[in-house]
């Protein structure tokens, strides 16, 4: 069974900055767009149904171009970085935009699109109908705008759309009030009777006044002090500093000195002397300056929503869905999506459970009784996002809401009426857990780790890297195996890993060398970013599932006890203490040392890949307001990490879940309350502040000293995450003093964000020190490698000839292969040119600062490589070589791969006579390596095909008939004209022809062929081996290099060759050699062995007599023309 893949659709994206206004309307140029592939979702699928379009499952058209299920009726507007008062943005949201005379208007956005300031637009003619379908004809008159927008937007989540409609019962949520000793972040209200408050208020006032004056004055003098003005009136100065440099030294330029610079430096930055500056005020981060305080609150009341987004599915429906997903196991949990439904369902045998408890029916939220045996899923109302209609206010001032549907039967009826007969599965729990996962710099900065600790954590990877760089194949395979485990979609790693598993000699093959070294450098760069591999993995978090079943069955809190006690965690197979985290991580308060317990409860023994929590203690509050609709919890058991956890009280955010009040649902309110309040995503920025502050504290060895700013950053981070849902993002401000203290980012972040070193704080925190030492290693050891792993001196392998391991010469003849090569040559040339263009795009993006936007662009570019590879493979596979036979090249992947290898490694290595057919390229073997199936077949075929053995005397006579290429004469082994003394006197005077080679120690041994242990091919299946007879050739151009002996002497011999001289072509160690009267003259250049125009392959003429004519004598080579004398 093969895992299914999501359908892929292609959608255009336009940048808001490209919007123009003409004749009073906004327009976009249809050609000024970016094209993105998007996985299937409910909105795309619904739009196809409405337009009566069929998804095209064909991968390629008749010309071999990739078929794209393109949706021109919609596009995505990218508007990051604009201001709230942008009139054109307001207008485009209200009235839409025209593209090639088609009118597009706003449709909606998902929560992630909100954070990225992206919006889906649709052609006006389809808008109302699509909205009607997606909302099931229900639009609230009054609602919390962000809630309804999110309900519609969740239909944009990428899903597997499966032809199954589970039978669902919705039950009430259960809440529990717990009391816990916690810390609470609160806004500090100043006390005018507090002298400290007054002191800092005055200090802040003066600082604000200085900053305002500085900005005003700088704007004034910038107009006067142009580059030309500075050059004319001032001199370059070595002493003095720029304003920025003075700030680093704890001083600042006096306001009245700003227009009196002392001089300037190279880039026309103004410089000032010491007496023009004053000491910068040292303003600490405390409650007076930050505006927040951390208050300890004993027995703090916390209301916990026990099942927040978490339900159950039956064994039988889990099995059906797993089969539809193409899995070879039954998944234990999945994130589901339907209209207004979102959450995580966990596989539980609830039918047997309820039968054992004597429960035959359960009641839904509208009072209907459901037979347990007729249900597939039971979900809490927190998974059913349709309670949206605001009908009034409660006593506490919050909105009173009602359901959009009279009952669940109305919902189901409308769902069926609008044709929604599929279940969306956004993701599912994998049966096999990852053995390793990457840490993050946020995780490292939230622990009390020393440089020594960090080095130990990285050492397991480091040892593999050091051995891999020395050419240790097992270490390379171990590294690749870990990468495969983490990055499951990296096809390049897959084929290299499998190739090395079949033939370890390929570690010296140039393409593999390049890819392995590229990955090693990437791993080291990742470590500098904090991405250290460690044992651990992420798993879905769920409630105590026994609690859920007890609540569903009894709906009586007194009967809901579960199997977990407060502060206990459960996942089958784990016991003892584990470090737990949830991303995004900001504070050590969010890192837990949790107790995992065992249980003999039979109903939950199968859940090895789900973490269950008790919800009798504040786990959800601890892990950044975690819910259970698909959130992941990281679990690590490394003792170094366990010892580095700073245990502390939970910081509680009492504002978690607060939403804006409901208003009338119309476009004006959508724009003013939702769109304009979410124009800037500050989550990353505020998290970065926390990282920098923590890094500074770790330099001093006291992370707890910055609890206040870290707690505030954690509080703000949670607020910004919720802003996309509650629409109050613009009401949250980052305290200026925190920004000031984190003005320069932590040093190691230059590997994350890019840029010059001077932009970063050169602190001596443990991780910074570790990164600096790793940089020294990377600058030294890695650069010395010159793009190759170190090959031990005792290994004799010509890496330039290893391509022969990638070819199965038994499956084709050279004439047919020549035709194949000529047929795919244009496809190869197109591939190389298009790949160059993609390479340029990638290089340009990699030069930019490493923002999230750039990372996304690089992902898009990587998809272009994949699409190019797929198109190229398909075009080659569809070629019909013979008019009278219904045979395509794709019918024999081995031969197709062999052709690609010959093109990449032989015919395009340098400028040759074949340039009229093939583009010249430079050491890029990527074309050959896209043909994965055939390459692996060839490697398998060649694996162990010749096994080297030392032949004893008694065996010599028995096998001599099977061996060739070598003769024993005059007590010497003669290998294609090269004489090697016989060390074994037992072989003296023995006649016969044998194959001889030297091992890596220099010892001579005989080789005997053995049957391959790999795939055995039936010769009748070699459809591209026609056994055509050899033909005479004349004037075959080639270059002779590696001249044997004195170069001048060999040149003279060649220049004086007569018609009586007998020349022949022989082979030694995979090189073609030219011999004269049994003496070697030199090596025929590899790329000259084929002539596509003459359709001649010199290897077919081994040991045949040839004539030679010298065309040109070069410094160390000779250009010749050969003509055959016999066939």
The DSSP secondary-structure symbol of 260 reads S
Rounded distance between C-alpha atoms, residue 423 and residue 166, angstroms:
8
How many angstroms separate the CA atoms of 306 and 176, rounded?
7
User: Can you give 294-320 as a three-state secondary structure string?
Assistant: EEEEEEEEEEEECCCCEEEECHHHHHH
Coil, helix or strand at residue 1031: coil
- Closest by alpha carbon to 828, among 751, 912, 749, 925? 925
Prior bond to 584 cis, omega within 30?
yes
- The reported pLDDT for the residue numbered 1013 is 43
- C-alpha–C-alpha distance, residues 134 and 114, integer Å: 19
pTM of the model: 0.84
pLDDT at residue 308, as a whole number? 95
Q: Which of 168, 632, 635 is nearest to 427 (CA)?
A: 632
Residues 240, 613: Cα–Cα separation, whole Å: 60
DSSP per-residue string spanning 349-412: -HHHHHHHTT--EEE-TTS-EEEGGG-SEEEEGGGB--EEEEEEE-TTSPEEEEESSSSHHHHH
Based on its alpha-carbon atoms, the radius of gyration of the chain, rounded to whole angstroms, reads 36
Nearest to 577 by CA among 629, 647, 627, 649: 647
Question: Is beta strand 1079-1084 parallel, antiparallel or unpaired with respect to 1036-1041?
Answer: antiparallel
d(C-alpha 478, C-alpha 474), whole Å: 6
State how far the Cα of 503 lies from the Cα of 811, in Å rounded to an integer: 20
∠ Cα 373 310 383 (to 5°): 90
Burial 427-465 (b: 16+ CB within 10 A, else e): bbbbeebeebbbbbbbbbbbbbbbbebbbebbebbbebb
10-residue mean pLDDT series, the chain (1127 residues): 87 95 93 91 97 87 81 94 83 96 95 89 98 98 94 95 98 96 93 92 94 94 92 92 90 96 90 96 94 95 95 98 97 98 98 98 97 98 97 90 97 98 97 92 96 94 85 83 70 86 87 87 92 94 98 96 98 97 92 97 97 96 92 96 96 76 94 87 85 94 94 89 63 87 90 82 93 89 64 58 87 90 93 92 79 76 90 92 84 94 84 74 84 94 51 36 41 44 38 38 37 43 74 91 86 84 81 86 89 88 89 90 87
Q: Which H or E run includes 595?
A: strand 592-596
**Distances 558 to 381, 496, 555, 561 between C-alpha atoms, Å:** 20, 59, 9, 8
Task: Supply the angle between the helices 473-486 and 510-528 in degrees, to the nearest 10.
Answer: 60
Q: Is residue 960 packed enough to be buried (19+ CB in 10 Å), middle (13-18) or exposed (0-12)?
A: middle
Distance CA(594)–CA(962), nearest Å, equals: 68
Q: Which two tokens stand for residue 668?
A: 């004006």
Q: What are phi and psi of 117, to 5 degrees?
A: 55, 55
Tell me if the domain spanning 1029-1124 has CATH number 2.20.110: no
Instruction: Count the neighbouring beta carbons within 10 Å of the beta carbon of residue 668.
Output: 12
List Cα–Cα distances, 523 to 176, 450, 774, in angstroms: 46, 21, 12
Tokens in use for 439? Answer: 């840490």
Tell me what pLDDT residue 267 has: 82
- Identify which of 135, 120, 168, 159 has the alpha carbon closest to the alpha carbon of residue 340: 135
Output the pLDDT for position 656: 66
> How far, in Å, are 97, 104, 123, 905 from residue 100 at the CA level?
10, 10, 12, 48
Distance between first and last Cα of the chain: 52
What is the rounded CA–CA span in Å between residue 1020 and residue 671?
71
Predicted local distance difference test score (pLDDT) of residue 792: 58
Give 988's DSSP letter: T
| Consecutive H or E run containing 760 | strand 760-761
Q: Where are the alpha helices (DSSP H) in 67-194?
A: 87-95, 111-115, 124-134, 145-153
Helix (H, G, I), strand (E, B) or coil at 24: coil
Beta strand 592-596 pairing with 576-581: antiparallel
The DSSP code for 66 is B
Q: How many CA atoms lie within 13 A of 302 on its CB side?
A: 28
Query: Which helix (H) or strand (E) covers residue 776, if one does?
Result: helix 766-777
- Adjacency order of strands within the sheet including 25-28: 20-22, 25-28, 97-99, 102-108, 118-123, 69-78, 8-15, 34-39
Q: What is the pLDDT of residue 998?
A: 35
The beta-strand segments (E) located in 137-220 are 142-143, 160-162, 168-171, 175-187
Stated as kind and residue range, the H or E segment containing 75 is strand 69-78
Kindly give the residue spans of alpha helices, DSSP state H, lying in 879-952.
893-902, 926-929, 932-942
Residue 921 pLDDT: 65
CB-CB neighbours of 1104 under 10 Å = 16
| Torsions phi, psi for 863 (to 5 deg) | -65, -30
> Cα dihedral sign for 932, 933, 937, 938?
negative
What's residue 791's pLDDT?
A: 61
Give all strands of the β-sheet with 175-187 in edge-to-edge order: 292-305, 175-187, 651-652
Taking a C-beta distance cutoff of 8 angstroms, is the pair 506, 516 a contact?
Answer: no
User: Which residue ranges make up each domain of the chain?
Assistant: 8-134, 168-179+306-428, 195-290, 798-931, 946-1009, 1029-1124
Distance in angstroms (rounded) separating the CA atoms of residues 745 and 738: 12
């Amino acid at each position: 069974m093969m895992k299914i893949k999501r359908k892929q659709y292609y959608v255009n994206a336009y940048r808001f900055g490209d919007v123009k206004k003409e004749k009073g309307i906004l327009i976009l140029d249809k050609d000024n767009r970016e094209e993105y592939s998007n996985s299937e979702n409910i909105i795309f699928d619904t739009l196809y149904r409405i337009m009566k379009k069929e998804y095209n499952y064909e991968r390629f058209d008749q010309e071999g171009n990739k078929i794209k299920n393109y949706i021109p009726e919609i596009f995505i507007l990218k508007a990051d970085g604009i201001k709230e008062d942008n009139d054109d943005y307001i207008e485009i949201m209200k009235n839409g935009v025209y593209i090639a005379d088609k009118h597009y208007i706003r449709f909606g956005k998902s929560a992630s699109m909100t954070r990225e300031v992206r919006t889906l637009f649709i052609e006006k003619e389809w808008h109302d109908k699509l909205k009607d379908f997606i909302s099931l004809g229900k639009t609230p008159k009054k609602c919390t705008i962000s809630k309804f927008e999110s309900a519609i937007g969740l239909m944009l989540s990428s899903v597997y759309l499966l032809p199954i409609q589970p039978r669902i019962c919705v039950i009430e949520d259960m809440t529990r009030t717990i009391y816990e000793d916690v810390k609470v972040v609160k806004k500090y209200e100043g006390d005018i009777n507090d002298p400290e408050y007054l002191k800092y208020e005055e200090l802040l006032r003066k600082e604000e006044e200085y900053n305002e004056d500085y900005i005003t004055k700088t704007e004034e003098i910038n107009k006067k002090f142009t580059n030309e003005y500075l050059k004319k009136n001032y001199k370059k100065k070595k002493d003095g500093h720029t304003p920025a440099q003075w700030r680093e030294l704890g001083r600042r330029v006096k306001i009245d000195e700003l227009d009196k610079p002392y001089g300037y430096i190279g880039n026309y930055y103004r410089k000032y002397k010491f007496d023009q500056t004053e000491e910068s005020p040292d303003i600490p981060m405390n409650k007076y300056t930050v505006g927040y305080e951390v208050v300890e609150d004993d027995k703090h009341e916390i209301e916990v929503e026990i099942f927040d987004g978490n339900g159950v599915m039956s064994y039988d429906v889990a099995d059906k869905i797993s089969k539809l997903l193409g899995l070879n196991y039954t998944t234990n949990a999945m994130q589901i999506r339907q209209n207004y439904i979102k959450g995580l369902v966990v596989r539980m045998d609830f039918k047997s459970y309820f039968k054992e408890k004597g429960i035959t029916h359960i009641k839904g939220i509208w009072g209907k009784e459901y037979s347990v045996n007729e249900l597939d899923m039971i979900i809490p109302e927190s998974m059913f996002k349709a309670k949206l209609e605001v009908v009034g206010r409660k006593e506490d001032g919050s909105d009173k809401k009602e359901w959009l549907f009279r009952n669940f039967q109305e919902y189901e009826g409308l769902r069926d009426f609008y044709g929604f007969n599929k279940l969306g599965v956004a993701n599912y729990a994998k049966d096999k857990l990852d053995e390793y996962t990457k840490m993050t710099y946020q995780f490292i900065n939230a622990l009390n780790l020393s440089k020594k600790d960090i080095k130990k954590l990285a050492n397991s990877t480091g040892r593999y890297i050091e051995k891999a760089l020395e050419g240790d194949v097992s270490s390379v395979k171990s590294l690749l195996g870990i990468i495969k485990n983490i990055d499951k979609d990296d096809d390049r790693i897959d084929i290299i890993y499998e190739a090395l598993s079949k033939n370890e000699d390929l570690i010296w093959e140039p393409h593999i060398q390049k890819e392995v070294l590229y990955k090693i450098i990437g791993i080291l760069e990742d470590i500098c970013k904090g991405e250290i591999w460690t044992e651990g993995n992420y798993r879905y978090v769920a409630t105590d599932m026994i609690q859920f079943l007890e609540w569903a069955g009894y709906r009586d809190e007194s009967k809901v006890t579960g199997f977990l006690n407060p502060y206990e965690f459960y996942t089958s197979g784990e016991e003892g203490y584990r470090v737990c985290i949830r991303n995004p991580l900001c504070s050590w308060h969010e890192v837990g040392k949790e107790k995992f317990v065992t249980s003999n409860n039979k109903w939950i023994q199968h859940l090895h890949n789900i973490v269950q929590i008790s919800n009798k203690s504040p786990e959800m509050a601890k892990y950044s307001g975690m819910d259970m609709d698909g959130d992941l919890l990281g679990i690590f058991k490394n003792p170094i990490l366990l010892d580095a956890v700073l245990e502390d009280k939970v910081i509680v955010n009492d504002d978690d879940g607060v939403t804006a009040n409901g208003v009338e649902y119309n476009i004006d309110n959508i724009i003013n309350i939702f769109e304009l309040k979410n124009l800037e995503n500050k989550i990353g920025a505020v998290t970065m502040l926390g990282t920098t502050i923590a890094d500074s504290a770790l330099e001093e060895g006291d992370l707890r000293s910055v609890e206040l700013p870290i707690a505030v950053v954690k509080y703000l981070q949670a607020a910004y995450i919720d802003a996309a849902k509650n629409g109050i993002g613009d009401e949250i401000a980052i305290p200026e003093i925190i920004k000031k203290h984190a003005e320069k980012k932590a040093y190691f972040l230059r590997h994350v964000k890019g840029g010059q070193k001077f932009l970063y704080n050169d602190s001596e925190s443990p991780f910074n020190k570790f990164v600096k030492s790793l940089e020294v290693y990377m600058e030294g050891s890695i650069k010395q490698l010159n793009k190759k792993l170190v090959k031990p001196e005792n290994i004799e392998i010509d890496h330039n000839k290893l391509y022969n391991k990638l070819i199965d010469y038994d499956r084709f003849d050279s004439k047919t292969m020549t035709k194949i090569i000529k047929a795919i040559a244009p496809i190869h040339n197109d591939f190389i040119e298009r790949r160059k263009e993609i390479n340029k795009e990638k290089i340009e993006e990699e030069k930019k600062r490493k923002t999230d936007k750039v990372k996304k662009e690089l992902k898009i570019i990587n998809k272009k490589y994949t699409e190019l590879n797929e198109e190229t493979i398909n075009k080659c596979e569809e070629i019909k070589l013979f008019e009278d036979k219904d045979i395509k090249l794709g019918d024999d992947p081995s031969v197709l791969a062999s052709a690609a290898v010959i093109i990449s490694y032989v015919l395009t290595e340098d400028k040759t006579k074949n340039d009229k057919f093939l583009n010249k390229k430079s050491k890029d073997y990527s074309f050959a390596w896209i043909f994965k199936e055939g390459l692996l077949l060839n490697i398998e075929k060649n694996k162990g095909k010749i096994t080297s053995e030392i032949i004893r005397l008694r065996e010599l006579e028995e096998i001599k008939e099977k061996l060739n290429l070598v003769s024993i004469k005059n007590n010497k082994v003669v290998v294609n004209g090269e004489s090697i003394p016989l060390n074994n006197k037992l072989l003296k005077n023995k006649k016969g022809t044998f194959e001889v080679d030297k091992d890596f120690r220099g010892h001579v041994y005989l080789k005997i062929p053995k049957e391959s242990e790999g795939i055995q091919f039936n010769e009748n299946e070699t459809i591209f081996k026609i056994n055509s007879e050899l033909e005479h050739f004349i004037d075959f151009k080639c270059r002779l290099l590696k001249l044997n002996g004195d170069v001048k002497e060999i040149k003279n011999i060649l220049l004086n060759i007569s018609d009586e001289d007998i020349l022949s072509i022989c082979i030694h160690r995979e090189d073609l050699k030219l011999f004269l009267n049994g003496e070697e003259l030199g090596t025929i250049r590899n790329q000259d062995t084929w002539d596509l125009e003459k359709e001649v392959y010199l290897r077919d003429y081994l040991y045949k007599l040839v004539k030679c004519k010298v065309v040109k004598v070069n410094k160390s080579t000779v250009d010749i023309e050969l003509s055959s004398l016999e066939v």
